[in-house]
Amino acid sequence: TTTAVGIVGGGPAGLMLSHLLHVAGIESVVVDNRLRSEIEHTHRAGILEHDSVRLLVESGVSDRVLREGREHEGVILRFGGASHRIDFQALAGASTWLYPQTDVFIDLADARARDGGDVRFGVSDTDVVDVTSHRPGILFTDASGAEQEIRCEILVGADGSNSMTRRHIAGQRQYYREYPYAWFGILCEAPPSARELIYTRSERGFALISQRTDGIQRMYFECSPTESVDDWPEDRIWAELQARLAGPDGFSLSEGPIFEKTVLPFRSFVCEPMRHGNLVLAGDAAHTVPPTGAKGLNLALADVAVLADILEQVLVKRDHSALDQYTDRALSRVWKAQHFSYWMTTMLHRGENITEFDLRRQLGELESVVNSEAGSAYLAHGYTGWPSGQ
């Protein structure tokens, strides 16, 4: 097979890029070693920035997010047993949407199928070759066991944080930071406990009360990176969550049967540059953020919006030098999101060895955020997302 753009990775980044290229009249082929059903059943983040919503709707993927997503005009910061609302609309003139990543993926996969897109799930032994040549390629074994080769003009690595394509970025520098934290994530059958998300800092550690539907809630609490889900029966999980949320205002979570438990790792990572020859990286393949602040998916979508624009210049206007702008245009947003995610994380988590100084400093930091319009506005702007191209 030959095509204009070969894309490794059929998650939101790879499929969104393939869709945007299709809209611009550019052909692509997407390969992914997972099955569509596996990706659909992997629970990920749940919050979209307004620009991510706009991208899905205005590019013609689907308007389901407008019908089934829930607009959130603010978020709750809870500490010292009291809740403080950050009003996104008042401070930043923007909202976020609660719309799970699995639904974003389903909308994108459906849109690619609807538009005749070439997306091959369930492949194996994927490799990329000749990335600095005019005819780079993807080699893989298809779902029926036959060896395949796709030759293209531009190769895109959108293959997630364990990226294989990243290894082909010669001369790369990797920047990273590890954290002594992890999240224990649950899904449960219960009514919502609040109208908006609650990010809580307590002496026992962080907790996040998110949502999925009227009957299903998503919650996370800080745990040790080596925690095992088997050590957490339901009653222990509820006791821990209730203790972290408790306060003099009498706040109490609605409980219900838990049907999913996972421990999520934490890392900040950036690979620079995001391009080598005719290979470019997008999304988690190039950068990972810790989950506090819900930036990962939004950052991946922002990358591919920039990349689709650049690939149109390369492949339609035949200006190959446009590729030189990609790393800088993508990274300015990436580093702002890295800082925001790091900041939200370190302000709200405790880890095992936090000092008495830092525990008190965190409270001073949180007071500065909720009691100052400038502090709240920084959170509101960062959470709802910076303007595109910035």
336 is catalytic: no
Is 382 a residue that touches ligand DHB (CB under 6 A)? no
Residue 383 CB, nearest approach to ligand DHB (Å): 9
Catalytic one among 192, 273, 291, 381?
291
Instruction: Give 384's contacts (C-beta < 8 A, 6+ positions apart).
Output: 49, 50, 88, 92, 94, 95, 96
Buried b (16+ CB within 10 A) or exposed e, 284-301: bbbbbbbbbbbbbbbbbb
Interaction of residue 291 with ligand DHB, rule CB under 6 A: yes
Decide: helix, strand or coil at residue 75: strand
Residue from 47, 138, 299, 380 touching ligand DHB (CB under 6 A): that is: 47
Residue 292 is a binding residue for ligand DHB (CB under 6 A): yes
**Which tokens hold the place of 45?**
């983040």
Beta strand ranges found along 50-181 (DSSP E): 70-72, 74-79, 82-87, 96-98, 118-120, 124-129, 137-141, 147-151, 154-157, 173-178
Closer CB to ligand DHB, 14 or 290, in the complex: 290
Tokens standing for residue 181: 């934290």
Q: In whole angstroms, how close is the CB of 188 to ligand DHB at the nearest point?
A: 13
- Of the candidates 294, 299, 311, 330, which one interacts with ligand DHB according to CB under 6 A? 294
> Considering beta carbons, is residue 220 or 251 the nearer one to ligand DHB?
220
Q: CB burial class (10 A; 0-12, 13-18, 19+) of residue 172? A: middle
Check whether the bond before 180 is cis (ω within 30° of 0).
no
Q: How far is the CB of 380 from ligand DHB (least distance, A)?
A: 14
Judged by CB under 6 A, does residue 376 bind ligand DHB?
no
- Closest Cα partner for 93 from 388, 333, 332, 380? 380
Residue nearest to ligand DHB (CB): 46
How many residues line the site for ligand DHB (CB under 6 A)?
A: 11
Q: Does 293 bind ligand DHB (CB under 6 A)?
A: yes
Residue 55 near ligand DHB by CB under 6 A: no
Instruction: Determine the Cα–Cα distance for residues 29 and 380; give it in Å rounded to an integer.
Output: 38
Q: Which residue type does 386 have?
A: W
Residue (32 or 49) nearer to ligand DHB, CB: 49
Stretch that binds ligand DHB, among 9-17, 44-52, 66-74, 327-335 (CB under 6 A): 44-52
In angstroms, the CA 149 to CA 1 distance is: 6
- Other Cβ atoms less than 10 A from the Cβ of 110: the count is 14
Residue 352, classed as helix, strand or coil, is: coil
Binding of residue 333 to ligand DHB (CB under 6 A): no
The piece of 45-53, 85-93, 226-234, 247-255 that touches ligand DHB (CB under 6 A) is 45-53
- The neighbour count for residue 281, using CB atoms within 10 Å, is 32
**Candidate list 99, 181, 199, 220, residue with the active-site label:** 199
The Cα–Cα gap between 240 and 221 comes to 8
Q: Which is nearer to ligand DHB, 26 or 186 (CB)?
A: 186
Residue 46 lies near ligand DHB (rule: CB under 6 A): yes
Nearer to ligand DHB, 140 or 340 (CB): 340
Residue 192 touching ligand DHB (CB under 6 A): no
DSSP 376: H
Is there a catalytic annotation at residue 72? yes
Give whichever of 326 and 383 is closer to ligand DHB, judged by the CB atom. Answer: 383
Our CB check for ligand DHB shows the closer of 18 and 292 to be: 292
Choice among 295, 326, 349, 381 that is catalytic:
295
3-state secondary structure of 303: helix
Under the criterion CB under 6 A, does residue 188 sit at the interface with ligand DHB? no
Q: Which one from 72, 168, 276, 287 is the annotated catalytic residue?
A: 72
Residues with active-site annotation: 72, 199, 291, 295, 383
Binding site for ligand DHB (CB under 6 A): 45-47, 197, 208, 210, 218, 291-294
